[in-house]
Structure 1
Amino acid sequence: MNDLKQYLTYLTTWIKEEVTKAHCNGVVVGLSGGIDSAVVGLLAQKAFPEQHLTVVMPCYSDQFDQECANLLINTHQLKHQIVDLSLTYDQLVATLALPQHQLALANIKPRLRMTTLYALAQSHNYLVLGTDNADEWHVGYFTKYGDGGVDLVPLIHLVKGEVQQAAHLLGVPSEIIMRPPTAGLWTAQTDEQELGVSYQQLDFYLQGKQVPVAVAQRIEHLHQVSEHKRQLAKAPPVAFSSLINEFKK
């Protein structure tokens, strides 16, 4: 725990340094009501006590999500803003006239949240903090250009169990720590059900511990098919000028 406490201090310093390098004034983070965003929200406050903003963005969300986010805000007196995206979501879906594709429709929500965070960040000259942990990053359990569209990812080297320990150290309310992890994309959705493996199994795999063969294969498959999410937009391997020069030879 002492090592983790020191690492959290390091993360706080790192956030401040990166914001300074970017010539920005502070940070903004979206609060989902879950443990990862709670930890990042409290790191944001530690790094910038006066120049942080936590944003709650309900979009046909479970009421418990907002209750947990409000609990964290009130417990730690976080600077916050609530932006209800439900009507915006309805208008965009109606305009797009999409077929009833559950994931395509669900992923509009985190992409609207990304747009909201960047609009607020730019208006304050802040950077956007992401909330993905090592488990989620490895298997691509985030929405491309949604919750994956951020400036800094402070939890990227912490597995889920370490995030839970960090939450205890930072004073995250137990209601948030104990709730089943969920992306909140649809009713009764849980991370582990969708992933097909538990976070403990993912932790063990990433820590080099033994897991069942089927679990390892599932994790490796998820990592492989999500590789594009961890890369910048792909460019052609040959530049125009290089091609022209090749033709002239």
Structure 2
Amino acid sequence: MTNSTNFNSEKVTEHIVKWLLDYATNARVKGFVVGISGGIDSALTSTLCAMTGLPTLCIEMPIHQAESHVSRANEHIKQLKKRFPKVSNNRTDLTPVFEMFKNQVPSSENETALNLTLANTRARLRMTTLYYYAGINGFLVAGTGNKVEDFGVGFYTKYGDGGVDISPIADLMKSEVRQLAKYVNVPDSILVAKPTDGLFGDDRSDEDQLGASYDELEWAMMAMENGKTEHNFEGREAVVFKIYERLNRINQHKMQPIPVCEIPKKIKNI
């Protein structure tokens, strides 16, 4: 399973930065707000936003966060503030809010469903927080999802980290995110860290949850786009393709527009 390495980091960076600046200018907003997790996607997104020269507000929103995530996020923010004078940061500890929410809603005996629902609740609390900061500052919420997550396997929370104003890196595969992050000098500690959404309060990685690595999922995504099916493969390739196909199918509700019940005129107009 190999992916193309023919990628022009310089030109892609220039294109995204110009796109961000043009969009913000046309929308007449002052800058960007980005949730910083300590992961590579948010580090790249915030760096690209900062490169526009517009104010970029980096927000940490811990909810029982692992110390390694916090330290990487702090390292990135500190580095970014040194490089770009219009970068600022804030920290909103959402742990008390999350715990209060849990105390106000019923629990469930279905532990799997409960844990997933609470993980999504964390993401939705963070989305609400980012829009608060965006609202009081006149900023746009910049999304941090990449192409495999957003349009391949739907690995994000609807109205959580999927609730954004703009998506500057959503046309980049994860391998391209890594190349671009290295090009724009994201800290090495983030470049080498295993991807994790940090929503479950433990050390499980994205690969643990998905059952395949991002490189494998990229391969499957391109194979499906080329009309392949699982019957074209065997061994690990067949397994990975089946994982990708299943996730792509069950998460279409995240990728497609919200269904609208259209009422025929002959019914509506009596």
Q: Taking structure 2 as the reference length, what is the TM-score of the superposition?
A: 0.86
The question of whether the paired residues in 2 share the 8 Å contact of 1:27 and 1:48 is answered with: no
Selected match of 1:185 from 185, 188, 199? 199
Selected match of 2:189 from 172, 175, 178? 175
SS at match of 2:74: helix
SS at match of 2:244: helix
Q: Structure 2, unaligned stretches of length 5 or more?
A: 1-5, 82-86, 227-232
Partner of 1:243: 267
Question: Aligned partners of 2:37, 2:91: CA distance in 1, in Å?
Answer: 11
Q: Does the C-alpha gap of structure 1 residues 201 and 115 become closer, same or farther in structure 2, counting only changes over 3 Å?
A: same
> What is the CA distance between 1:96 and its match in structure 2?
1.1
Selected match of 1:22 from 27, 41, 47? 27
Selected match of 1:53 from 57, 68, 75? 57
SS at match of 1:80: strand
Partner of 2:41: 36
1:225 has 2:238 as partner: no
> What is the CA distance between 1:232 and its match in structure 2?
3.4
SS at match of 1:212: helix
> What is the CA distance between 1:3 and its match in structure 2?
1.6
Q: Partner amino acid for 2:98? A: Y
Q: Structure 1, unaligned stretches of length 5 or more?
A: none
Q: Partner amino acid for 1:61? A: Q
1:65 has 2:65 as partner: no
Q: Taking structure 1 as the reference length, what is the TM-score of the superposition?
A: 0.93
Q: Partner amino acid for 1:80? A: N
Q: Partner amino acid for 2:197? A: A
The question of whether the paired residues in 2 share the 8 Å contact of 1:33 and 1:69 is answered with: yes
> What is the CA distance between 1:127 and its match in structure 2?
0.7
SS at match of 1:107: helix
Q: Partner amino acid for 1:65? A: H
Q: Does the C-alpha gap of structure 1 residues 242 and 190 become closer, same or farther in structure 2, counting only changes over 3 Å?
A: farther
Selected match of 1:93 from 102, 120, 125? 102
Partner of 1:202: 217
Question: Aligned partners of 1:215, 1:20: CA distance in 2, in Å?
Answer: 42
Q: Partner amino acid for 2:26? A: K
Q: Does the C-alpha gap of structure 1 residues 98 and 203 become closer, same or farther in structure 2, counting only changes over 3 Å?
A: same
Instruction: Please give the per-residue CA displacement for 1:163-197, whole angstroms capped at 9, x wherever unaligned.
Output: 01111101011110101100001201210110111
> What is the CA distance between 1:233 and its match in structure 2?
2.7
Question: Aligned partners of 1:34, 1:149: CA distance in 2, in Å?
Answer: 18
Question: Aligned partners of 1:28, 1:88: CA distance in 2, in Å?
Answer: 21
Q: Percent identity?
A: 33
Alignment root-mean-square deviation, CA: 1.7
Partner of 1:75: 79
Partner of 1:157: 171
Question: Aligned partners of 1:242, 1:44: CA distance in 2, in Å?
Answer: 50
Q: Does the C-alpha gap of structure 1 residues 136 and 68 become closer, same or farther in structure 2, counting only changes over 3 Å?
A: same
Aligned residues: 244
SS at match of 2:51: helix
> What is the CA distance between 1:48 and its match in structure 2?
3.4
Selected match of 1:124 from 137, 142, 147? 137
Q: Does the C-alpha gap of structure 1 residues 202 and 2 become closer, same or farther in structure 2, counting only changes over 3 Å?
A: closer
Question: Aligned partners of 1:133, 1:14: CA distance in 2, in Å?
Answer: 16
